[in-house]
Structure 1
């Protein structure tokens, strides 16, 4: 049914076991260390594949925390209109490049991996009669392959011991299934208390590691996010419910599954510090760069801000244009006045009765006709012609 999960999981585990079988010495009951390391590095391989989605998950979580106040405001504003609320929230998320699925992707991808590993490890011993179990005999179990593992590798796994117990044994396993872990007719070389001595400490370590990982993640959340009731609920689940869940379900998990859980938590703890440290460094660099830009744009001591300079420059330009316009107006008026004075019948201002013309200036009629007894003609003010003036005097 889920062979597309079981074969890849068993294939990665097979590769690591093949490698470590040449590195580690065989234990008295089998190559237990090699099988244990194959489970551990199966975890590391899958988590390395999921590294980029994990980084996106962290960035998505931080982005969600940043826009959470705006989301709360939208929920409050459109509390009576669910459709409008959804549209506005999606619009806000799109503007900030926020994708809620990226926050859940790494966790969702780990679920089928965990299910696949659990099924593959349980399938080494197929004597069980529960859901999904085949109820085989011990001899049949030891002679059947397990996905990519051959029958000989299945026997090697069943004979392998970690701290004296089989890797696929679990605390509440029926004693009738213990026969699959030894050669047919051979006595059982382990007891249930021995399984408890191995399983219980692993359960406690896995539970504490889960709590520490959740605690490290919660401590990096901003205060605004911690005030959100939904965030507080999720934090409580991660801090207390999940670790307690491992303690409750631990007796039903094979030793190799608990080893997987411990390895997964160790990887997560180190990866969180690495990723959060990298993100914090990027944020610090961005902050310093912003400060440098503000410092570069800021005015030096004793120098006015750039805005004032722009205002002064604009005022100077407008003032210069006005001054130029006024000067041009005055110049034009002066030229007009000069032209009027030059073209007036009375001549220059300094010309009067008996006045001599200036050098190079032609004598005017008024100057030429003026004599000692002649009457002074009034200036032609009002712009009327001399002919009209004569006609008026004739009528009189």
Structure 2
């Protein structure tokens, strides 16, 4: 084994165990209500694996959002540095990094979730690919489970197969192509959502914006080209992961947008409308309460006390005769 192979094995072996522990545990849980050998059971186990991994990466996603937000807010100052030191690339780089350091942000933090997901993605790919080609397990995934995973079918299609390895099987090709398109669309939508709603106008110009625009179109194409070589199980993982990212980003943009962005303006309008509705509802409630207040009963006429005939005769006598 070469030195690079040894390093790769040293890095990937713990990931094989980590992924296989979650995958096998999820499969045991899912097998309580689905046949263990079914593609539905293994596909759902991959979905659970995806959700567990993405939930574990939430702290890194928060750091990514903060770093990306700070990068956008610093773009006007970066432009000023570019005007000032545009002739000196080394000085420009030094001053830009100093600006980021003083602001407490790290431009590389925005890449952390993707960078950490790639080894996990690769480990899952190798796990499924090894099961498909050799029917052998990795980590705690046994050979019997690897064989079961290899033969597992979802809607009549083996989830261990790839578009390239379909060998004319149209079912495999259709499912793989559908998931590749879903992966492409979700990747593009997530990136587009960020640029169109949560980036100030000043951040849509300059080199940082150009990088974002390039990624907007390049990343989906890269994933689409690479996706034809991914097993269907891996495509399920990546599509679900993209949906998680899209939903998570939508929530953050809606509730904590960058100041001066269309998302911030939309949030201000929603807050104003909510405050107006709240005030109107209070006034309406008060009026309804007043309208529905019980009417005060009319005063009743007090009935005179009953008297005997002697008392009535005595009371009706003239004043001088009452002796």
Q: Give the TM-score normalised by structure 2.
A: 0.72
Q: Whole-Å Cα distance in 1 between the matches of residues 172 and 63 of structure 2? A: 40
- What is the alpha-carbon distance in structure 1 between the residues aligned to residue 153 and residue 166 of structure 2? 18
- Per-residue deviation, residues 166-188 of structure 1 (Å, max 9, x unmatched): 1110122275xxxxxxxxxxxxx
CA distance in 1, matches of 2:234, 2:254: 30
Task: Name the counterpart of 2:146.
Answer: 154
1:212-251 alignment, distance < 5 Å: 212-219=189-196, 220-238=198-216, 240-251=217-228
| Cα shift readout 1:110-130 (whole Å, capped 9, x = no counterpart) | 11111111111101023xxxx
Superposition map of 1:138-177 within 5 A: 141-142=134-135, 144-173=136-165
Offset of residue 89 of structure 1: 2.2
Does the aligned pair in 1 maintain the 2:199–2:258 contact within 8 Å? no
CA deviation digits over 1:58-94, x for unaligned, max 9? 1111111111111121132123444443332233222
Q: Distance in 2 between matches of 1:250 and 1:70?
A: 39
Equivalent residues, number: 251
SS in 2 for 1:243: helix
Give the secondary-structure state (helix, strand or coil) at the position aligned to 2:158.
Answer: coil
Verify: 1:94 aligned to 2:101, yes or no: yes
- 1:221 deviates by 1.0
Cα deviation for residue 281 of structure 1 reads 10
Task: Tell me if 1:19 matches 2:29.
Answer: yes
User: For residues 85 and 205 of structure 1, what CA distance do their matches in structure 2 show?
Assistant: 41
Report what 1:324 is aligned to.
Answer: none
Q: Is the 8 A contact 1:55 1:275 kept in 2?
A: no
Match of 1:253 among 226, 230, 233: 230
* 2:257 match: secondary structure: helix
CA distances 1:252-308 after superposition (whole Å, capped 9, x unpaired): 111111111210111111111122233239989xx9xxxxxxxxxxxxxxxxxxxxx
SS at match of 2:108: helix
Quote the offset at 1:54 in angstroms. Answer: 0.8
Structure 2 residue aligned with 1:351: none
Q: Which residue of 2 aligns with 1:200?
A: 177
| 1:255-294 pair list within 5 angstroms | 255-280=232-257
Q: Partner residue of 2:3? A: none
SS of the residue corresponding to residue 280 of structure 1 reads: coil
Return the alpha-carbon distance in structure 2 between the equivalents of residues 31 and 171 of structure 1: 20
Q: Is the contact between residue 131 and residue 150 of structure 2 (CA under 8 Å) also seen in structure 1? A: yes
Alpha carbons 1:21, 1:31 under 8 Å: kept: no
CA contact (8 A) 1:32 1:161 kept: yes
Q: Give the equivalent residue in structure 1 for 2:274.
A: none
1:155-212, CA deviations, whole angstroms, 9 ceiling, x for partnerless residues? 221221011111110122275xxxxxxxxxxxxxxx6112112111111122111111
Match of 1:65 among 42, 59, 72: 72
Q: Which residue of 1 aligns with 2:129?
A: 122
8 Å CA contact 1:53, 1:105 repeated in 2 = yes
State whether structure 2 residue 62 is matched by structure 1 residue 55. yes
Unaligned runs of 5+ in 2: 1-8, 269-323
Q: Measure the CA separation in 1 of the matches of 2:111 and 2:250.
A: 19
Q: Please, what is the CA RMSD of the aligned residues?
A: 2.3
Match in the other structure for 1:75: 82
Partners of 2:223 and 2:117 lie apart in 1 by 16
SS of 1:123's equivalent in the other structure is helix
Structure of larger gyration radius? 1
Unaligned runs of 5+ in 1: 127-140, 176-190, 288-396
TM-score by length of 1: 0.59
Bigger relative contact order, structure 1 or 2 (CA pairs below 8 A, ≥6 apart): 2
Partner SS for 1:100 = coil
- Which stretch shows the higher mean deviation, 111-120 or 94-103? 94-103
